[in-house]
Structure 1
Amino acid sequence: MFWRRKPLVSEEMRDWIVDHFDWVSTNRPQWHDQARLVLPTKDFFDAPPGGGHETALGVLRNIQDLMGLDLRIDLQPLEVLPDDLRHQYGQMSEVAGTYMSDGESRLITYDPTLVRRPLTFLNTLAHEVMHARLEEVAHLLPGGAEMHELATDLHTIIAGFGVIELEGAETAGWAGYMGQPSRAVALAMFLKFHDLGPADALPHLSARPARWLRKAWAEED
């Protein structure tokens, strides 16, 4: 009827998200089994403080451990202008991170200024590490290799980083590849799959992501 509330995402998007959860359950069940809801706390991240490259290396190690990814991944900061000059020349939207691989060696580069913005940095690095996990199966995923960046965002949530993604994108002021409503739907599915509820995630979300998650959860009931 005309008074029904519009759902957060289209039926096509929701089906695509479900297809990826199903693909993991069928083809990589260990990914589901080892996933847990990752929160931006010291229980999950024990990288040394300071905001420099040693901090970044510690975060990389934490993320790989949480994903169960035993691969060598090199990490290198990008050369960037100082914050004041980037602002002056309108370059605050430069690349946050990249992943490169030749099948044998793997390299993630990152904007070193992001280390001072923990949630944004966690979100960026988790996305790039997920590229390494999906590298050998990207062409097998629903939607194919052409949707790899979008699928990488989604699989980061399937791996337990949904709170990091939602809040990281919110604090950064940009959505990335998936939209925030789509992330909320995926996070709601993750919570249900792992017998969790919104109360497990909401304390770590600000107002808008929290509203999206509550609506996504209601739509899943």
Structure 2
Amino acid sequence: MLSLFKTKPLVSKEEESWLIDAFIWACDNFDAQYFLEHTQVIEPTGQFFPDQVSSVEQMAQTVFKRVRDYAGLQVWPVQLVNPNQMMPQQIAPFQFVGSNRGSDAQIINPPSIPMSLSYNPNQINQPQDLVASLAGSLALMMVYQKGVMPPGGKEQIPAASDALACYLGFGVMMSNTVYQFKGGCGSCYNPYANRQAALTEPQTVFMHALICHFKPQVDGKKHLKSHLRSMYKQAQKQIKVLLNESANPYLLALEEKRHAQLS
């Protein structure tokens, strides 16, 4: 009878294990110190995106620069190009002095030609999809540039890129754009504007909640779609149990730093 009142976990133990491993992989390879000290949880508000634009190209470039800078990739040699200018490319490896993110990062051997990303013009009227897609593209670029495979190997790169985009601070938009409802007006629904998600809604919300756990000053559910807020609360409870029972030294060290922030 008591089992009726137990909180159902948001994700399975297997999913939880992979998501935690992906989080630790992100911390190991993409500057955990920067994550703890500087990463913000980016919200779909005028506070984070205050710019006024007058064209599709200007909007794409403006959002890209915001996303790039919030991700801490200001000095990375990457540019946004129009879809018709996008060409196949190889991502050249380069090394950093110390931190690999933030305005103070220093590249030892920058490539002569910047890496290129593009955008989906159909997403201009769905700005959360645009932000999430650009964040996911930057995350994918980071994975290939670093050259360290995520948990599960090469097959898990798309899922790991989604997880990494959450780690960079874009979990709200990543969660909100996993699935788009068609709504009541079929002519208003544009399937070509939707981003291609590799993680499910519960998995993405779990990763977002995990990131927010280490940003205790943030209300991570405030700007989530209404049906995702209960998932977020489930994730919070599952993460609390996980961290209370975990003997993982990495998670314990992060928890200690979190408590230091609160004290």
TM-score normalised over the length of structure 1: 0.79
Taking the aligned partners of 2:57 and 2:221, their CA distance within structure 1 comes to 31
* Largest Rg, 1 or 2: 2
Compute the RMSD of aligned alpha carbons. 2.7
Cα distance change of structure 1 residues 173 and 124 upon mapping to structure 2, 3 Å threshold? closer
Aligned length: 202
Aligned residue identity for 2:33: Q
**% identity of equivalent residues:** 22
Cα distance change of structure 1 residues 5 and 138 upon mapping to structure 2, 3 Å threshold? farther
The equivalences for 1:53-202 within 5 A come to 53-69=57-73, 70-78=75-83, 100-103=89-92, 104=111, 105-171=114-180, 176-196=197-217, 200-202=219-221
Counterpart contact for 1:130–1:156, Cα < 8 Å? yes
Q: Secondary structure at the match of 1:107?
A: strand
- 1:48, CA displacement in angstroms? 3.4
Taking the aligned partners of 2:223 and 2:234, their CA distance within structure 1 comes to 17
Cα distance change of structure 1 residues 13 and 136 upon mapping to structure 2, 3 Å threshold? same
Which of 35, 39, 43 does residue 39 from structure 1 map onto? 43
Q: Secondary structure at the match of 1:74?
A: strand
Aligned residue identity for 1:8: L
Q: Deviations over 1:145-169 (max 9, x none)?
A: 2211110000111111110111123
Cα distance change of structure 1 residues 174 and 115 upon mapping to structure 2, 3 Å threshold? closer
Q: Secondary structure at the match of 2:176?
A: helix
Taking the aligned partners of 1:23 and 1:132, their CA distance within structure 2 comes to 16
Structure 2: gaps of 5 or more residues: 93-110, 181-192, 241-263
Aligned residue identity for 2:235: A
Taking the aligned partners of 2:87 and 2:231, their CA distance within structure 1 comes to 28
- 1:75, CA displacement in angstroms? 2.1
Q: Deviations over 1:79-124 (max 9, x none)?
A: 6xxxxxxxxxxxxxxxxx9995442442222221211111111111
Counterpart contact for 2:7–2:234, Cα < 8 Å? no
Match of 2:53 in 1: 49
Structure 1: gaps of 5 or more residues: 80-96
